[in-house]
Amino acid sequence: MPNEVLVVGTVSWQIQEAVSAVVKALEEAFNTKNPIALGEQFATEASWSNAMGTRLDGRAAITESSAPALKGFLSESFARYEITKLLEIVPGVIAVNVVQTPTDAAGTPVDGVWGSALYVIAERPDGWRIVAGQNTAVSAPASPASLA
């Protein structure tokens, strides 16, 4: 995580690393167009609203919906995910603000649609997982910090 991350509450470095690993795995799954790996970052009972405003309930629905999108209209879309804020809601539940910067396949920033996402990541029996969240497509910001 970059040094500019705002941490609110008691979020130990171990939890910061665990939450960051979920975000990085989600980024990798998106960029490799792997719907199974993407779905694995969500809790079984997760609630997710994608950038088009569609609410998906449950890991299976998220995975199923992601497959045609990643292989279709998102097949040439890539992004870098940067955590900008961590907010401890209660112990073991962290709200995570993420800026998604459009890139090419090599990771170089390009013109395109940016994303501003909020993930609620919680410690579950099978590890840290996204339990709720929303992704919002936005225009290129004057400054990425303005999306935080």
Distant-in-sequence, close-in-space partners of 92: CB < 8 Å, separation ≥ 6: 122, 123
- Give CA–CA dist 145/148, Å, rounded: 5
pLDDT tens per residue, range 40-89: 999 999 999 998 899 999 999 999 999 999 999 999 999 999 999 999 99
- Give CA–CA dist 67/127, Å, rounded: 23
pLDDT tens per residue, range 14-30: 999 999 999 999 999 99
CATH numeric code, 6-139: 3.10.450.50
Q: What's the DSSP call for residue 51? A: T
- Spell out the domain ranges in the chain: 6-139
